[in-house]
Amino acid sequence: MAKVKTDVKKDTKKEVHDSGVHHIGKVRKALLQKLASEPGTPLFVIDHEKIRENYREFREHMPDVQVYYAVKANSNPEIVRTLFDMGCSFDVASMPEFMIVWEIIKDMPDKERQDWIWDKIIYANTIKPIETLEALDHYKPLVTFDNSEELKKIKAHAPHAGLVLRLRVPNTGSMVELSSKFGADPGEAVDLIAQAFAMGLVVEGMSFHVGSQCTNFENYIQALDLSANILKEAESRTGQRIKILDIGGGFPVKYHPGVKSVKTLAKKLNAEIKRLFDPDIQILAEPGRFLVANTCTLVAKVVGKAFRDGKPSYYINDGVYHTYSGQIFDHCTYPVLSFTGGETQISAVFGPTCDAFDTITLSAELPELEIGDLVYSENMGAYTIASSTFFNGFPPAKVVHINK
């Protein structure tokens, strides 16, 4: 992976087209084209200053919330390092993700490292292999659960871990719903907490996730209300205080102007948390998409051209098996844009593989392009390159870092 130390903070001035969609300015375009000429395409450009800006914005609007970056959104080790340097904590959901963080902290003295993991990592996958639990037990991190069978595994293989019960909450209006697969029903939550304490385990907290890219802020309000009631009932029944509430992720990215800002959501969250919970409760959050989605740009090359079904069709050297995988797994769209101007027409854009499924869009607005021309897509940081494959022998995009 290449690292390019350059200052592009002044290059990010936006141009507003008639459609109201914001595209990158001329100076930034020139930088991307220059970068693409060196290692070649497809090229995945990560802007670390933008990552830092997003982290600072989140902390500004929710200063009392401890930020745990959801590594699955984009597990690039350099991104994890940048957030680590900002003081971020981490939500991991697999041992490979845990090991990405481990590589940063491995040289700490053992006691310091153990304390850091205990305080700064939550293993937020409710279903964990036995081997994972055994590996985690030494470090006593927070681990989530949502059923009795998982409690039995934790008791047998990671009894020193701190437990967090994940609650099933509404996901209405979220781009990716999660409650069909994860979370204990509210009606059984107190029973599970009591069962854990009866087994000699320690329940440190409760968590929920309103769904990824949540634009229905009422989901958070309902989830907070449910959580407050369950925590009160659990304390009454067990006599134990639970002092951690993990409000998960879902914080929206402005992929288009209609998405409300995180500032608007933060006002609602801060007010409800203050109303419903004691001042000493520790609030965690797991933003992934919010921290990285708008920090990455993909540059690809036109490798083929045809006229099909009455419109120009372009074949580029990246597709849905690679960086555009977010269109499939994340239910997101990434407009394909041209570096050149001119009159546009509705065009199809396909990926490079021998699979008709590898269709990026049938309705891109593009000027006439030639083989060898470059195109780009913005807001590609979350759930894209993280899912890239080597299908058909095509490798993932090369990665370059700016503003390191």
293 residue type, one letter: A
Please indicate whether residue 178 or residue 348 has the higher confidence score (pLDDT). 348
Tokens of 120: 């700064």
Q: Which CATH class is domain 2-47+296-402?
A: mainly beta
pTM above 0.75, yes or no: yes
Burial class (CB in 10 A: 0-12, 13-18, 19+), 171: buried
How far, in whole angstroms, is CA 4 from its chain's centroid? 24
pLDDT greater than 80 at residue 19: no
Predicted local confidence at residue 173, as pLDDT = 60
Give residues with Cβ within 8 angstroms of 121, minimum separation 6: 68, 89, 90, 91, 92, 98, 101, 139, 141, 142
In this prediction, residue 191 carries a pLDDT of: 96
User: Is the pLDDT confidence value at 97 over 70?
Assistant: yes
Residues 6+ apart with CB under 8 A from 262: 57, 58, 61, 251, 252, 290
Query: What whole-number distance in Å separates Cα of residue 399 and Cα of residue 41?
Result: 10
**pLDDT tens readout for residues 158-176:** 999 999 999 988 676 666 6
Check pLDDT > 90 for residue 304: yes
Q: How confident is the model at residue 251 (pLDDT cuts 50, 70, 90)?
A: confident
- Residue pair 184/192 in contact by the 8 Å Cβ criterion: yes
Query: Where do runs of H (alpha helix) occur along 140-202?
Result: 148-157, 186-198
Report residue 235 as tokens.
């304390």
How many Cβ atoms sit within 10 Å of the Cβ of residue 257? 8
In this structure, the number of other CB atoms found within 10 A of the CB of residue 221 comes to: 17
CA distance 106 to 116: 11
Q: Which of 23-37, 205-219, 308-322 has the highest mean pLDDT?
A: 308-322
Q: Tell me what pLDDT residue 179 has.
A: 64
Which stretch of DSSP H or E encloses residue 377? strand 374-377
**Residue-averaged pLDDT of the chain:** 90
Q: Which of 203, 269, 351, 368 is nearest to 63 (CA)?
A: 269
Question: Radius of gyration of the chain from Cα atoms?
Answer: 23
- Please tell me the predicted confidence (pLDDT) of residue 253: 83
pLDDT of residue 261: 84
332 labelled catalytic = no
Q: For 360-404, write each residue's pLDDT tens digit.
A: 999 999 999 999 999 999 999 999 999 999 999 999 999 999 998
Cα 129 to Cα 13: distance, rounded to the nearest angstrom: 47
Selected residue with higher pLDDT from 5 and 304: 304
Q: 154: number of CA atoms within 13 Å, CB side?
A: 31
Give yes or no on whether 2-47+296-402 and 48-292 have one common fold: no
Q: How confident is the model at residue 250 (pLDDT cuts 50, 70, 90)?
A: confident
pLDDT at 357 over 90: yes
Number of other residues whose CB lies within 10 A of the CB of residue 1? 12
- Domains of the chain, by residue range, sit at 2-47+296-402, 48-292
88, 214, 296, 354: the catalytic one is: 354
Class of the domain covering 48-292: alpha beta
